[in-house]
Structure 1
Amino acid sequence: MEPGNLTGVSEFLLLGFSEGPELQPFIFGLFLSMYLITVFGNLLLILAVSSDSHLHTPMYFFLANLSFVDICFTSTTVPKMLINIQTQSKVITYEGCLSQMYFFILFAGLDIFLLTVMAYDRFVAICHPLHYLVIMNPRVCGLLVLVPWIMSILNSLLESIMVLCLSFCTVLEIPHFFCELNQMIQLACSDTFLSNMVMYFAAVLLGGVPFAGILYSYSKIVSSIRGISSAQGKYKAFSTCASHLSVVSLFYCTVLGVYLSSAAPQSSNSSAVASVMYTVVTPMLNPFIYSLRNRDIKRTLMRFSRMSALKCYFKGPHGSVKNNFLNKMYHNEYSFV
């Protein structure tokens, strides 16, 4: 293959999952459903946290940020794939590919950092409960969200600049459903040693170090829980971090499975299918894991559903009387919750 000039690259081809046209409607419907569930579920979680004053705590503040990042994370890849299936086109422009890669790296890094911050929050809550509100004050919580944003933006910018400096071959087919960094580097015809070194260094620094922090936090949490005398106290302490531990296990296991399997000989579609687990499935399951295992969020969501049902029931004439009833119910003059 003849190496191409960087300025001559105008577009890439995203090969996606299947060449068979008979499977495209199924793939479109499946990913559209998962995307809508992801967006709706995470938006509902953000709404629940922001509207209920009982959920204005550091743990739920970080959870709302994680839900926002999950929406953005999925939105960087799935909509473009759906558009390509609908238009029966596999083309993505050079600029669009770089932009997609930039935001994918950004939000993937934020996901990892926020999971680490949430592990630290649980560590402080269980190991230092008397000092929790002092340590996790609003200023510290703001910094624990701001610093990951800054680090993720800088990392994503560096990775994108490395790819921007590469020249590409004439055949620009990406065996994936989005512009993944490793796939982009493999397509390059120029020397990729520096790009690979930056990619591996960032993976260790921004992936391995946070994971080590999560393991350290949970080692301390387990030690503290073992020191609790009553079984009820142990269960209550463990239940406060069970949802987060489930999300961490799901995210890291799927990511690790994808990148370990990518080293083995396999078809080009296998890596794309495996990547669906952490790019689409994990963000979709996060709100369900947290809502099903958390009584506070379940109570808030049930309040929303009852309010919505009552509003539908009371639509019609004499709206002022009915609205007065709803307002009284909302302010707990009527005990429905």
Structure 2
Amino acid sequence: MNSKPTSQTLLDWYDRHARKLPWRVSPDDRRAGVVPDPYQVWLSEIMLQQTTVQAVKDYFLKFTRLWPDVHALADAADEDVMKAWAGLGYYSRARNLKKCAEHVSHHHGGRFPEDEDALVALPGIGPYTAAAISTIAFDRKAAVVDGNVERVVSRLYEIKDPLPGSKPAIRAAMAELTPEDRPGDFAQAVMDLGATLCTPKRPTCSLCPWSEPCAARKSGLAETLPVKAPKKEKPTRRGAAFVAVRSNDGAVLLRRRPPKGLLGGMSEVPGSEWSEDFATSNGHDHAPFSGDWKARPGVVRHTFTHFHLELTVYRATHPADTPIPQNCWWSPPSELDGEALPTVMRKAIAAGL
């Protein structure tokens, strides 16, 4: 058998085993003349950044139902977009999503550019996303390298240098592998191979279309690649969160976070700053107004990209006529689920209630 990996071998496998995804045009449909919707390709790629396919599916369907094209998303209220994104995490993506939709709608007539360089100039689109949109939406040849592709290519060529240092070699190999014909399908085929067979643990080499030429399979190193540099230990920050409940209807007091920075523009319960030297014993001193604040048992834990967070949650019930700070509002129980609350705040409210 041919010991050199070929794109056609993988495309033949993809034609039979392609995953059915709500944003994807199947190989059969592509052959029948159906072309991908660049808006849906862009939307899915932004959502999939550092997020699993399973987590993204429902959000993608919700967004395309609410805003079926880029003009509709551009015209949406910022608050509505943040509410629809709530729970998906990495909220700067949602802010940039809105900015990008506005730019494409107002400056490109609603048409996404096909060229990688033009795509990278848009808000929230980096080199990977630009390559993915260019090749998947427009079938232009580009080296698309996500986590699945890094794993497949590292094993295929037995690239032992640790990530992220090995990224240039992986990208160069992917560029050489990518064919002129059907580059979009090829990019998705490598992603599918990594997601279904060439998995991080216990790869199913016996079913892999590239099993024969795979250098790591031959050496027995497949499960050890790619090598990743040791992660730095994350610091732990602490803080206080205050769940104020209105006595007459159970509404919860919320406020809006600043538009920029971590969780920018999202809703939250009032609270302290988060810091490594936060004095938990004085947490109640940060209450938004006076009241019979009682600390709830335990702490709420949440992990962000760069740090762990531990929140002490305080609860108090207040009369309906209690004066509230500016930028705050009462959210009744029937509306709470629809608020733009990040996961950490939903945890805090659950602990408070």
Q: TM-score, normalised by structure 1?
A: 0.29
TM-score, normalised on structure 2? 0.28
Between Structure 1 and Structure 2, the one with more helix by share is 1
Higher relative contact order (CA 8 A, sep 6+): 1
More strand by share: 2
